[in-house]
Amino acid sequence: MAPNPTHTALWPAPHASGAVDATVHVPGSKSVTNRALVLAALASEPGWLRRPLRSRDTLLMAGALRAMGVEIEETVSSSSSVAGGPQTTGEAWRVLPTGLRGPATVDVGNAGTVMRFLPPVATLADGPVRFDGDPRSYERPLNGVIDALRRLGARIDDDDRGALPMTVHGGGALDGGTVEVDASSSSQFVSALLLSAPRFNQGVEVRHTGATLPSLPHIRMTVDMLRAVGAQVDTPESGGEPNVWRVTPGALLGRDLTVEPDLSNAQPFLAAALVTGGRVVVPDWPARTTQPGDRLREIFTEMGGSCELTEYGLVFTGSGSVHGIDVDLGEVGELTPGIAAVAALADSPSTLRGVAHLRLHETDRLAALTKEINELGGDVTETADGLHIRPRRLHGGVFHTYEDHRMATAGAIIGLAVEGVQIENVATTAKTLPDFPELWTGMLGA
């Protein structure tokens, strides 16, 4: 088969001629948008999402819900339709929940949120729902969701690998109850079961049995968003047992939600300020959030920057020096590629720990970062659960991206400081940030 021209296309990563000084409006959060879509689809009344992210992952989620009978109207709104609701302008999606139905086909692409959050929804549909996706989606762990749903009463046909492709034979309802899940390979197993649980006959009690649990902030995001639509959730943090979450059955409210900017997608722009000794402002940075990207304020400060959270947003300033860091990224794994890129440009070595599960993300991120940074002259080694990065003088070359949006943005960060870096398939950023090339060149004043 001839290679796909967009996948082999090379994008010359812009080199920064000086300190960047820009305001970057970062589009909405993938994780919030896809949770909000699921919760709105399960609600007992219509709801609104304002400033949703429009990207491959969120359009796949919307398309899948539509395939199961949910109506999602895309409008440009000028104000809230709900008295006392937020007054916002921009794009809005109105979600009209209906009886979920099959037969339907769901394309998950390579979206972890779609492949994990929707099988529990499909158990509530009246008919079979077929799940398929990109070749990589067949390799990403799904067994935790499939096994748990079977134990909660679902009928699922897979090829016995506990992975995609598969068919969920929705029976219009699911018993629910108590279930053990080893979510050490993905926090999304827990989030998936909790999100649909208010609609299970007995709700759910999820007991995580694995030795580690990544991405806890993303589970907190699930719990917060469930509570915001009226669900009753007991968590380890609200006085419950460690590693146990309980959701009581009940109707969900249709809400009017404005989606926060995606703080993990703000990362390359903050990194640009850090590595060029410049300044980047990200408007609407939330004062309180469950997004893991909020940890960048602390991590990039330790690496040499400083930040101020104002009413307008986050002002992040680089000092001209970039330091290495020794950090456990288990809670914020999706930040690893961008931190590795900055660490490769630092004045001292770094150790990134707690992220073994990244081997099963969009690509094997530990192997990909090691190979691509080393091919530019770097010195990165993989450890059992992360990376050692010893900064070296880097040179130009092709930075391969393995259809991983965060590999593409990591390569762009390196390209700011190293002339002649070419990013393969920058279009892969469309997974969560289709406007990346334009936002990046706009930031650089090009």
Ligand X SMILES: C=C(OP(=O)(O)O)C(=O)O
Place of tokens 């530019």: 376
* 196 sits near ligand S3P (criterion: CB under 6 A): no
Between 174 and 190, whose beta carbon lies closer to ligand X?
190
Does position 317 interact with ligand S3P (CB under 6 A)? The reply is no
Tell me whether the omega of the peptide bond preceding residue 103 falls within 30 degrees of 0, making it cis: yes
3 state DSSP class of 223: helix
Cβ–Cβ under 8 Å, residues 25 and 104: no
For residue 241, indicate whether it is catalytic.
no
Among 27, 133, 293, 333, binds ligand S3P (CB under 6 A): 333
Find tokens 């090691």 and name the residue: 370
> What's the token pair of residue 339?
């931190």
- Is residue 112 part of an annotated ligand binding site? yes
Pick the closer one to ligand S3P by CB: 233 or 376: 233
The residues that bridge with 326 in the sheet, in sequence order, are: 351
Tell whether residue 431 is a contact of ligand S3P (CB under 6 A).
no
Length of the chain: 446
Can you tell me which of 55, 58, 110, 113 binds ligand S3P, judged by CB under 6 A? Answer: 113
From 11, 13, 20, 31, residue interacting with ligand S3P (rule: CB under 6 A): 31
Which among 149-157, 214-222, 279-287, 313-321 is the span making contact with ligand S3P, rule CB under 6 A?
A: 214-222
Tokens of residue 40, six digits: 């709105």
Q: Is 17 marked as a binding-site residue?
A: no
Catalytic residue among 91, 205, 331, 334: 334
Is 30 assigned to a binding site? yes
CA 121 – CA 125 distance, rounded (Å):
7
35 is in an annotated binding site: yes
Residue 31 is labelled as binding a ligand: yes
Choose the contact partner of 191 out of ligand X, ligand S3P, none; CB within 5 to 8 A by kind.
ligand S3P
What's the DSSP call for residue 23? Answer: E
Exposure letters 251-282 (e unless 16+ CB within 10 A, then b):
ebebbbbbbbbbbbbbbbbbbbbbbbbbbbbb
Q: Which two tokens stand for residue 358?
A: 């990244």
**Of residues 131 and 200, the one with the C-beta less far from ligand X:** 131
User: Which CB, 27 or 112, lies closer to ligand S3P?
Assistant: 112
Catalytic residue set: 334
Q: List contacts with ligand S3P (CB under 6 A).
A: 31, 112-113, 186-188, 191, 214-215, 218, 333-334, 357
